[in-house]
Amino acid sequence: MSRVLRLVGGRVYDPANGVDGELRDLWIEDGRIIADPGAEVPKHDTIDISGRIVMAGAIDLHSHIAGGKVNLGRALMPEDHHGHAHGAHGRLRSGSGAATPSTFSTGHRYALMGYTAAFEPAMVPANARHTHLELADTPMIDKGVYAMLGNDDLLFRLIQSGAVQEEINDYVAFMLEATQAIAVKTVNPGGISAFKFNQRKLDLDEPNAHYGVTPRHILLRLARAVAEIGLAHPLHVHCNNLGVPGNVETTVKTIEAVEGWPIHLTHVQFHCYGTEGDRRFSSGATRIVEMLQRHSNLSIDVGQVMFGQTMTESGDTMAQFGNRVLAEPERWLCMDIECEAGCGLVPFRYRDRSFVNALQWAIGLELFLTAPDPWRIFLTTDHPNGAPFTFYPRLIRLLMDRDFRAEMLARIHPAARRHSGLAEIAREYTLFEIAILTRAAPARALGLADRGHLGPGAAADITVYVDDADRERMFGHPVLVLKDGRVVVRDGRIVAEAHGATNVVRPEHDPAIAGRIERFFAEHMTVRLPHFRVSEAEIESRGGRIQVRETRRRSGAA
């Protein structure tokens, strides 16, 4: 039996268990948190964290960290790597990149910020093996991927052939298992396919030129499939019309299109624009907040913009082709992928003196600060699209520190300041709320029952901070991070390299669907189905560990 570890004297913020800043000790055994043993104290080691703030390890549910488009981003921006390189250190590998860090650096930086899990939200199924190869080289954190569906010719043909919902459900379940994914994402539903047929925009009720299928139809079929096969995480939606002024209307209609089935809207900031004002570009945050109040089936993550150089990497070729004119430096890449999806890369520099960028920044903060329920909003920058994830500590300070916010607001483009209601918002997030946004809520949203909290039975992923009034410094430099009960970061240095699990789901489905998909691959694709599928053994042979998360099959209307 391994030795018990006791963290003594910390102030614990554990929203999942209703703990709001109470002084209590944490007891750890075999990588898990155990109940306070009371009077019968076992032999144990002690770490004194008196006066420190304690939370579960943080979880990023939307961060582009691995796979084809990320690697293309690395190739496209040597500048991002030349200026941000570090050598190997002991057994820790070298790496480089600020916006598009290499895999080892990604894992190390997340751990140094107290994050113990991150999820790659846009895996093209054909790119699954590549994505899992990259994750095999991403240390420190637990991980998982969302399979991108909704633009693939296979689904269009199923719909066109009159497939009943059960068949769609089987197809979704099959694809999740075949690609070792935990959730389903749809990016510009129907739009990536439409771009291949030379359509340049696609509204919610606009049919695909070839198939005649609308985004609304795809959304409804997929949202229902995800719910019925019983995934914890709802359909993860990147709406149509990303970045287009006035797109908040599309976003609102998208929420209504799923007819009450659960839905998660990602990087809503980029889908939250009105056309008011003399510049025909305005904040739609109040509309989204209204929708959050009205629809309990809705959750969002923000995709906050922070100022500086980054690389935008998206599955949305249609939008990124349009954005090419904004590229800085001037280069851009779009790719159509395997009759499934695509990707588009555009380097970007967000400037506080640009009206549009400044208003994007303000809109993100408006969303955070006026959202009614911290359990249904998650802290993201859509790394690296709004900013690299390393900006999270500064973002947390913006949410927790009104004076700091006012200081930043004073520096942005004056017209953007006037167009935003941000100056009037007094709200400051509490530590308890930050722990919801970055721990408890994402764990619940993804069905990670033993993560994101500190109750008995939870994995001992624990982050300890100094209670510093400068919240950016505090969240940027935890003094202690434990991964599965082992100290991995101490005083801002990695002291041990951990290897996290790959979280997957295995929803039940009729195996007959495999035959149909196999025929499609044999007749039309350039890979056969057995070679498309990624096996558990492949992940395990590279040192990975599969963690199957629970699904609860259900049927009938929401």
Partner 1 sequence: MEARLEEAVCPFCSLACDDLHLKRTERGGVALVGPECPLARTGYIEAGTDEDLPPRIDGQAVAESAAIERAAALIASSAAPLVAGLAAEVDGVRAALALADACGAALDHLRAEGLMRLLLPLIERGAVQTTLSELRNRADLVLVLGPDPRRIAPRLIERALPPTGLFVQEAAPRRILFIGGVPETELAPHLSVQVIPAPTHRLAELAGALARLIAGKALPRPEIAGVPAARLAELAQQMRDARYGVALFAPALLEGAEPELAVAAILHLIQELNRTTRWSALPVAGGDGLIGASQAMLWQSGVPLRSRFTPEGPRFAPHRLAADRLLREREADLLIWISAFRPAPPPEASVPMIALAHPETRFARPPEVFLPVGVPGVDHGGAAFRMDGVVALPLAPARASTRKSAAGLLAAIHRALPMVAR
The residues binding partner 1 (CB under 8 A) are 66, 68, 70-72, 74-78, 80-82, 85-88, 90, 93-97, 100-105, 124, 126-127, 129-130, 133-134, 137, 153, 195-198, 210, 321, 324, 327, 330-339, 345, 524-528, 530-531, 535, 538, 542
- CA 382 vs CA 119, 238, 313, 364, 532: distances in Å: 11, 11, 10, 12, 28
CB of 107 to partner 1, least distance (A): 12
Structure tokens at 517: 């998909």
Residue closer to partner 1, measured from CB, 66 or 218: 66
CB of 301 to partner 1, least distance (A): 25
499 SS3 class:
coil
CB of 195 to partner 1, least distance (A): 8
CB of 438 to partner 1, least distance (A): 26
Residue closer to partner 1, measured from CB, 110 or 195: 195
The answer to whether the beta carbons of residues 375 and 452 sit under 8 Å apart is no
Residue closer to partner 1, measured from CB, 48 or 79: 79
**Amino acid identity of 468?**
D
The candidate with the shortest Cα–Cα distance to 442, out of 394, 380, 516, is 380
Residue closer to partner 1, measured from CB, 102 or 304: 102
Axis-axis angle for helices 128-136, 68-76 (nearest 10): 70
CB of 81 to partner 1, least distance (A): 4
Backbone phi and psi for residue 51, each to the nearest 5 degrees, phi listed first = 80, -5
What is the C-alpha R_g of the chain? 23
CB of 185 to partner 1, least distance (A): 17
Strand boundaries in 171-226, DSSP class E: 183-187
- Alpha-carbon dihedral 255, 258, 264, 267, rounded to 10 degrees: -50
Residue closer to partner 1, measured from CB, 283 or 385: 385
Residue closer to partner 1, measured from CB, 23 or 88: 88
Kindly report the number of other CB atoms within 10 A of residue 526's CB atom. 8
First to last CA, the chain: 47
Residue closer to partner 1, measured from CB, 378 or 532: 532
- Could you tell me which residues come within 8 angstroms of residue 471 by beta carbon, excluding any fewer than 6 positions away? 393, 396, 397, 400, 401
CB of 1 to partner 1, least distance (A): 30
Residue closer to partner 1, measured from CB, 88 or 558: 88
CB of 194 to partner 1, least distance (A): 11
Residue closer to partner 1, measured from CB, 194 or 255: 194
Residue closer to partner 1, measured from CB, 495 or 527: 527
CB of 21 to partner 1, least distance (A): 40
The answer to whether the beta carbons of residues 224 and 261 sit under 8 Å apart is yes
Residue closer to partner 1, measured from CB, 232 or 525: 525
The candidate with the shortest Cα–Cα distance to 141, out of 543, 549, 484, is 484
Q: How many Cα atoms are found within 13 Å in the side-chain-facing hemisphere of 70? A: 29
Report d(CA 117, CA 492) in Å as an integer. 18
- CA 428 vs CA 70, 400, 434: distances in Å: 34, 5, 10
Q: Is the dihedral of CA 100, 104, 107, 113 positive or negative?
A: negative
The candidate with the shortest Cα–Cα distance to 352, out of 364, 344, 361, is 361
CB of 305 to partner 1, least distance (A): 22
- CA 64 vs CA 60, 106, 146, 339: distances in Å: 10, 10, 11, 21
CB of 102 to partner 1, least distance (A): 4
